[in-house]
Chain A
């Protein structure tokens, strides 16, 4: 393995990518099998969008009020938090009390953000 042009690190991710591409291969295979046996009869009405039996009205990418878009912003904030928490979590003992206090300050600030959003009422269905 030492003489290989790929490092073991990259190689382990290559294996992962190969297994992931199985998803596409499997779907392709199923589609091909289906192509061999399925019927294909054209009929204009079949290709209309489904709207409970009536002809579709207006734009199909209709605008509607997304009441929970603010959650997406909150999510970005907390997901970045998770990125920072994991490295600390693997080395808790090494950093000891200092790391612990540091992380509490970090979590505290984020919790404050959540409490702020909560008090502002953005977590409620408005």
Chain B
């Protein structure tokens, strides 16, 4: 171990820079999304101003909120499974961070360019299920238990459409690596015309729609918010959490929203790249992060737009939508994509 630490000074320096920048990027984007959509966008949809006091137009509201949550007492109920209860928020948070590892933001701007790419993202995102289930179980609370089980049922049901929707893109590219997927789109051509590359939203629009619906459910956003349904379960697996541990669930939820939106824009909207002849490769080193952030933030906007527009499904309707509609359609999409890929 000491040889690893000593011999690879360059590696540790590089990793430290990457991890630091990655952390700042994730937290900044999450903060921006919370302010833009949860505070302001929804307020305007409901004909109110939203937070206006903290900072200009309430832009410092998020910091004020964190300050407030920091001062809350940290309560473990007497029957709770203390270790699991305490660890659960960190597991969810860690799952969120692991998702961001492979999402590229430029030609070299990726924390670790794993060959398994998109498969790794899907695997890591489902670790959150374990965190949520253990939160629900360890709380020793009937509401939490119901909420945790509902969340587990929902997350695994929508895991499948999510995974299967991605297969169409993988078939078209022939690689799981996210950089390869980005390059395939920016260098691609639509029937020989390469003006806008070949963003897969055009050829894989079915996959894109399934992916967005599944993401909505994976994020437990309305209309799929039964696990935390406040009117029936008073908050589900979050009931017993106070202060900073609750805040961690909250941050993780929005960071995951940004993560899934970034994955969706990488898969279907071209990721950090612009079409090949729009900008030179050297420009993309600084333009890339801006491009992918813009796309991701726009997609999170769609998620929140749906969230604040639709009422909640019933629990059985939720499962039926996944099993009877999304999964068969996703499988059909794979079959059709496979045939077209081999035929042409």
A interface with B by C-beta (< 8 Å) = 1, 3-6, 11-13, 15-16, 18-24, 26-28, 30-31, 33-35, 37-41, 46-52, 56, 60-62, 64, 66-68, 71-72, 74-75, 78-79, 82, 85-86, 89-93, 96-97, 100, 103-104, 107, 110-111, 114, 118, 123-125
Contact A31 B141 (CB under 8 A): no
Residue of A nearest to B180 (CB): A90
Contact B114 A79 (CB under 8 A): no
- What residues on A are CB-neighbors of B164 within 8 Å? 82, 85
Contact A49 B140 (CB under 8 A): yes
The distance from the CB of A96 to the nearest CB of chain B, in whole angstroms, is 6
Contact B248 A89 (CB under 8 A): no
The distance from the CB of A115 to the nearest CB of chain B, in whole angstroms, is 9
Q: Decide if B338 is an interface residue (CB 8 Å cutoff).
A: yes
The distance from the CB of A113 to the nearest CB of chain B, in whole angstroms, is 11
The distance from the CB of B269 to the nearest CB of chain A, in whole angstroms, is 20
Q: Decide if B160 is an interface residue (CB 8 Å cutoff).
A: yes
Please pick, from B11, B73, B328, the residue contacting A4 in the complex, using a CB distance under 8 A: B11
Residue of B nearest to A78 (CB): B160
Contact A62 B145 (CB under 8 A): yes
Question: Within the assembled complex, what's the spacing in Å between the Cα atoms of A56 and B76?
Answer: 15
Question: Within the assembled complex, what's the spacing in Å between the Cα atoms of A89 and B119?
Answer: 12
Q: Do A31 and B114 form a contact, CB below 8 Å, given A15-B15, A23-B90?
A: no
Contact B167 A89 (CB under 8 A): yes
Q: Do A46 and B75 form a contact, CB below 8 Å, given A71-B153, A71-B157, A107-B331?
A: yes
- Beta-carbon contacts of B17-32 to A below 8 Å, as 1s and 0s? 0110011000000000
Q: Decide if B3 is an interface residue (CB 8 Å cutoff).
A: yes
